[in-house]
Amino acid sequence: MRGMTKSLADPHTSFFSPGEAQKFLEGLRGTSLPGGIGIIFGVDEKSKFAVVHEVIENSPALRGGLLAKDLITAVDGVSTKGMDVDKISSSIRGEADSPVRLTIVRRGGQPFDVTFVRKPVRVGSVRSSVMDDIGYVRLRYFGEDTNREIDACFAKFDAANVKAYVLDMRGNGGGYVHAAIHTVSKFLPQGKIVVSFTGRTYPTEIHVTNGSRARDLPVVVLINEYSASASEIVAGALQDHGYKVVGIKSYGKGSMQEMKWLVDGSMIKITRARWFTPLHHPVDGVGITPNIKVEQDETSEEDVQLERALQEAGR
């Protein structure tokens, strides 16, 4: 089965053993992982190694000194080059209190090894705060609990009487489509097109907003080169409906995968269709181009992308 999926030459179609399948789903459930180190990561487009997007608070990764933008070039001596995110994630996770050795390259320096002890980690999909009367939403991924977490943060924003929203999806590698649709629905009236799917053996399917709109306020979307899949659905939908997108062109994963379970508990994740923005723009291999391009200086502590998004939202 692993050989058959590899023969399709599709980086998003893959086979998972029963153990790998359970680890993959744990990452989307948003529950406490039995054993992890506490990072959000993706695949660096240039080097093809894993790259850290965010280090979670109170985690082994934070205590071990891991930083955003660190490259993870190997896990327990096995190279991550060319490996997809799901497989890397499965190799990093394991039993609580067990060790995992990562090989790190920091800002073009020499590789060095760090050994972490896995611990139960709770990585919520949504983090929010109020910044100068602006409701800031950090969406890490689109998981099973995202809809509930999104509703909770907007209730908080209503209580604070915010004047605008900033939706930060930098480093968001995607997740469940229904969570992306619910997120878009917070900003648009009911019945507006969010995304359409079309495949060779997949009928054209159009998804619209579900009527859960929050207050009608300005919103600015933040993306970068690691924003992919469901986060691109959200960015593309809001951009097509007239909202500003700030940052760097997104990854360009405009395809939809379906999970097929096998009798022994293993799973195949297989590409079924490509998707298009409300104005029917393709995204696969193209990405979402921001209205306002802002580069982030990797050597600077200042988050110029967020500062520009807050500036645009406050206009």
pLDDT tens string 165-196:
999 999 998 999 999 999 999 999 999 999 99
What pLDDT does 153 receive?
96
Query: Quick one: pLDDT at residue 315?
Result: 80
pLDDT for the residue numbered 7: 95
Structure confidence at residue 27 (pLDDT): 66
pLDDT along the chain (315 residues), means of 10: 92 90 74 80 90 90 94 97 87 93 94 96 89 95 93 96 97 93 97 95 93 96 95 98 98 94 95 96 97 86 93 92
Is 183 in contact with 142 (CB distance < 8 Å)? yes
**Confidence (pLDDT) at 118:** 96
Q: What is the pLDDT of residue 201?
A: 83
The encoded tokens of residue 18 equal 């029963």
Check residue 87 and give its pLDDT. 85
Catalytic residues: 229, 240, 253
Confirm if 16 and 24 have CB atoms less than 8 A apart: yes
Write down the pTM of the prediction. Answer: 0.83
**Gyration radius of the chain over CA positions:** 19
Amino acid letter, 27: G
In DSSP notation, 227-269 reads --THHHHHHHHHHHTT-EEEES------EEEEEEE-TTS-EEE
